[in-house]
Amino acid sequence: MSGSPLKPIYLLADSTLLFWKRPDSSLLLHEVAGATGAARPSAAYIGASNNDNLEFYHGIFEPAMQQIDAGECRMILRRPAAADAKFLESADIILLAGGSVETGWRTFSENGLKELIPRRFVEGAVLIGVSAGAVQLGRGGLTDQGDTLLPTFSLLPFYVVAHDEQSDWASLRKTLQMAGAPAHGIGIPFTGGAIYHAGELEPIAKPVFELFREEERTRESLAFPPA
């Protein structure tokens, strides 16, 4: 395992930020590529949460990676072939796609990615979670029926909910209620995101909603992107 500091984790509410530029016109994905330390980073797309929908891989992921002149890119299916499993062992960027938190997580528990993804993170892979993928990188998420809280990778010290702002973050509130105090969660609005690195959370493009559930009270606040 690598003894170097852990790489950033990128949390995106949807795929918009895969093509987004900061106010200085720098592409967010160039930051992702730079964080890998590779000249032409290899990139793996894991679509288990959307039942391996090829449209998202070819229509979104591949064009996004072409912006940064990425090296080899592969879609890793729910039942990965031996060559794909080997590719994951060295991929510089690993993206967990959106869809169903429950469907994706149950697949990861069955095909070995539940153990592999955290190991690859420690070894130096840069992780990107989109929607359900962002939720899975956190401490847990609700099942499709919303009646059970699934513990997930817990590579982040908080829970994540994406694009639920129109419901005043009802899913995040329910998640923290089911988790029990103390618990911390963030809500990422549509077209927004966040970077978690070295214990710090940096919102991207839009403010991130933060909810803290403590023994005696609940606190909420907004975290704003850097000026």
The count of other CB atoms within 10 Å of the CB of residue 22 is 14
Beta bridge partners of 213: 183, 218
Measure the CA dihedral 47/53/55/58, to 10°.
Answer: 40
pLDDT in tens, 163-213: 999 999 999 999 999 999 999 999 999 999 999 999 999 999 999 999 999
Backbone φ and ψ for 28, nearest 5 degrees, come out as: -55, -40
What does pLDDT average to over the chain? Answer: 96
pTM over the 0.75 mark? yes
pLDDT in tens, 121-160: 999 999 999 999 999 999 999 999 999 999 999 999 999 9
pLDDT in tens, 93-118: 999 999 999 999 999 999 999 999 99
Domain boundaries, the chain: 9-223
Give 23's DSSP letter.
T
The answer to whether the CB of 141 falls within 8 A of the CB of 159 is: yes
- Distance between CA atoms of residues 50 and 68, nearest Å: 25
* Residue type present at position 23: P
Instruction: Give the CATH number of domain 9-223.
Output: 3.40.50.880
CA 153, 12, 176: angle at the middle one, nearest 5? 55
Question: Residue 227 — very low, low, confident or very high, per pLDDT cuts 50/70/90?
Answer: confident
Which residues in 47-158 belong to E strands, given as ranges? 73-76, 93-96, 126-130, 140-142, 149-151
Give 75's DSSP letter.
E
